[in-house]
Amino acid sequence: MYFFIPCVLILYYIAPKKLKNSVLLLSSLIFYAWGEQKYTILLLISILFGYIFGLLIGKTRGKTVSRFFLALSIVQNLAFLCYFKYADFFISNFNAVTGLSVPLLKTVLPIGISFYTFQILSYTVDVYRGDVKPQKSFINLAAYITMFPQLIAGPIVRYSDVESDLDQRSHSFEKAAYGTRRFVLGLAKKVLLANRLGEICDIFRASGEQSVIFYWLYAISYTLHIYFDFSGYSDMAIGLGNFFGFNFLENFNYPYISKSITEFWRRWHMSLGTWFRDYVYIPLGGNRVPFLRNIFNILVVWMLTGMWHGAEWTFIIWGLYFAVLLILEKLFLLKYLKKSKILSRIYALFFVIIGFVIFNASDLQQAMHDIYSMFGFGDLPAISKETIYYMRSYAFTLIIGIFAATPAAKIIAEKVRSKKSSFGEKTMNVLETIVVPALLVICTAYLVDGSFNPFLYFRF
């Protein structure tokens, strides 16, 4: 925040227009290499393949050979992803089924590979479909793929969304001001809320005096923790994107106010959801196929969504869990959920919380034990002194977290701004001038004083 970003911004703004993408590319590669030197070459190789296949697909578009080049691009990208992310998972499961002892490869997952692989895939597919023209400048394509604000944890930015910006984009104080606000608010989500809520989860796992209420405290805390962690990163990426003239699409839209699981997945990690919709679900036939085939399509998409998050059975089960809920809603649940906004919101939040308990479990056994314990099965007390102590200690954080997960603050701010007199606008401008720098100072103090807390989605 206080060295890398200022240096990059200075170099970027003093650079001539034709060199801005080069500055962005070089700074992004330095950023990536700082934490992942060994796999920077893998990133560059992936980009080179994407660049070459994009040109070949574009040149032969409309011919059979174009489909061949697209297939090669898909195979190459998925081969890299499967080798580094899933090889040991497949080997260990093969050993478990056959009783053999095939040695594990013990590969290390390159940072951001899930995100940049999907961006390269969407680019080559869109070129094949004719939605975008192949990028003739390697530097421009590489700058898009490696752009450091969103390189390692999303959102998944499609080439079609930034195609025009790569060649012609505007910069202004207004964009920089908006970017600053968005970046600082995202940072506050991460440092002041996500990290604090994560402490509850760590304390729970280390505790020897668990209770039913403590399990629910953990489940609710983790549900808020992952939202503020990931949406905070997305806000920071969108904010930084504005500094460089790019308008990244939103990745979250207050998912915890959803009235169904269907609505939840339209609001949560939207860049991933729309990616699977456009590049997997619709090509499989979407909902324009017989009923049983549609069910199959949903199960495939959500199994892959689970696998995208990690090479663990918990993620696969988590994906299929949501697939079943979506299928049930499609069959009959949605028409009943529309009858009561309150009950529908309770229903959606309840099943989302259960889903994230599965998501965060180390294995399926722990996931089952956690859910089992949440409903009072076993010898656990309803509540304990330790539970009461931590509920009191973190009550303020939980209340602020619940409030911040709703659009209440945004609605209040918009109402104040919309007042006919200029008083509302001036009030909000003064508040922003005070609150944003104050949040930055507080977050900095927490970062200086605290331990290293990486973003959760770095692992994916």
Q: Is the pLDDT assigned to residue 133 strictly greater than 80?
A: yes
Instruction: Tell me, letter by letter, the H, E, C secondary structure of 323-341.
Output: HHHHHHHHHHHHHHHCCCH
**pLDDT value, residue 458:** 66
Q: Is the pLDDT assigned to residue 390 strictly greater than 70?
A: yes
**Encoded amino acid at 107, one letter:** T
Taking the C-alpha atoms of residue 273 and residue 156, their distance in angstroms, rounded to an integer, is 10
**Distance in Å from the first CA to the final CA of the chain:** 23
Taking the C-alpha atoms of residue 83 and residue 155, their distance in angstroms, rounded to an integer, is 23
List, for residues 418-454, the tens digit of each pLDDT value: 776 667 778 788 888 899 999 999 999 999 887 777 7
Taking the C-alpha atoms of residue 309 and residue 298, their distance in angstroms, rounded to an integer, is 17
- The per-residue pLDDT of the chain, averaged, comes to 93
Instruction: Please state, in angstroms and as integers, the Cα–Cα distance from residue 290 to each residue in 41, 47, 280, 319, following that order.
Output: 45, 39, 17, 22
Selecting among 171, 225, 309, 369, the annotated active-site residue is 309
225 in Cβ contact with 194 (< 8 Å) = yes
**pLDDT value, residue 120:** 97
Helices 138-146 and 20-35, axial angle in degrees (round to 10): 50
Could you write out the DSSP letters of every residue in 51-79? HHHHHHHHHTTTSHHHHHHHHHHHHHHHH
**pLDDT value, residue 282:** 96
List, for residues 45-77, the tens digit of each pLDDT value: 999 999 999 999 999 998 999 999 999 999 999
Q: Is the pLDDT assigned to residue 110 strictly greater than 70?
A: yes
Q: Is the pLDDT assigned to residue 42 strictly greater than 70?
A: yes
What's the sign of the alpha-carbon dihedral 200, 314, 271, 55?
A: positive
**pLDDT value, residue 418:** 76
In this prediction, residues 7-23 reach a mean pLDDT of 95
Element holding 271 (H helix, E strand): helix 270-276
Query: 94 by DSSP, 3-state: which?
Result: helix
42: Cβ contacts below 8 Å, ≥ 6 apart: 80, 84, 110, 113
Where are the chain's structural domains? 4-169, 175-259+338-459
Instruction: Please state, in angstroms and as integers, the Cα–Cα distance from residue 239 to each residue in 38, 67, 183, 359, following that order.
Output: 29, 37, 5, 28
- Give me 332's structure tokens: 């009959």
**pLDDT value, residue 427:** 79
List, for residues 339-377, the tens digit of each pLDDT value: 999 999 999 999 999 999 999 999 999 999 999 999 988
| 121 exposure class (CB count in 10 Å sphere: 0-12, 13-18, 19+) | buried
Taking the C-alpha atoms of residue 27 and residue 244, their distance in angstroms, rounded to an integer, is 12
Q: What is the pTM of this model?
A: 0.94
List, for residues 378-387, the tens digit of each pLDDT value: 789 999 999 9
**pLDDT value, residue 38:** 87
List, for residues 150-180, the tens digit of each pLDDT value: 988 879 999 999 999 999 898 999 999 999 9
Percent of the residues in the chain that have a pLDDT greater than 70, as a whole number: 98
Percent of the residues in the chain that have a pLDDT greater than 90, as a whole number: 83
List, for residues 234-292, the tens digit of each pLDDT value: 999 999 999 999 999 999 999 999 999 999 999 999 999 999 999 999 999 999 999 99
**pLDDT value, residue 396:** 95
Q: Given its phi and psi angles, is residue 378 left (phi above 0), alpha (psi -120 to 50 degrees) or beta?
A: left
309 is catalytic: yes
Q: Which residue has the higher pLDDT, 129 or 36?
A: 129
**pLDDT value, residue 415:** 82
